[in-house]
Amino acid sequence: MADPKMRILVVDDFSTMRRIVRNLLKELGFANVDEAEDGAIALQKLQAGGFEFVVTDWNMPNMDGLQLLQAVRAAPALSHLPVLMITAEAKKENIIAAAQAGASGYIVKPFTAATLSEKLQKIFDKMGG
């Protein structure tokens, strides 16, 4: 299992959703969580360093989740970061676009705690292996 002290950035423009994801992560043992309300703020925080995992929404103002993902993958210092997308966008082309852009996982809203746990575990397994 991954390091429970791992610093995670939760990116969503709705504070309620950020809070829910933060609570779920806490339940799963990850208490070191920071939040950003759009891609642009998230990228700033990521560039400042210290984060090991990103959980992001897609549809957000200023910079959306896909743009954030692309920016992360394009930045040498950040490109290794796992990025898990949790989004209401459910078109197949969305999922394909996210996968092609290098998303580590894709969860469609509404989602369950079990789904989040499973996807996180899958990403950690890949990182470890």
Partner 1 sequence: MSDANPLGDSAELEALFDSIAVSAAKPAPPPPAAEKKSSLMSQTRESEDLTEDSQDLQALFDSIAGKDKTPRPAGGPGEAAGAEWPGQKKIFTQIGQMARQLRDTLATSGYDKLIEKTVSAIPDARDRLAYVANLTEQAACKVLNATDVANPLQDELETGAALLAAKWDALYANAMGVDDFKLLAGETRAFLKNAVPQRTAATKEQLLEIMMAQDFQDLTGQVIKKIVAFAQGLETQLMSLLIETIPVEKRTESVESLLNGPVINADGRSDVVVSQQQVDDLLDSLGF
Question: Which positions lie near partner 1, rule CB under 8 A?
Answer: 16, 19-20, 23, 58-59, 64, 66, 88-97, 99, 106-109, 111, 115
CA 69 from centre of chain: 9
User: Residue 8 forms beta bridges with which residues?
Assistant: 33, 53
Instruction: Say whether the peptide bond before residue 110 is cis (omega within 30 degrees of 0).
Output: yes
> The tokens of 21 are what?
């994801």
Please state the closest distance from residue 94 (CB atom) to partner 1, in A: 5
Nearer to partner 1, 48 or 114 (CB): 114
Nearer to partner 1, 48 or 100 (CB): 100
Please state the closest distance from residue 55 (CB atom) to partner 1, in A: 15
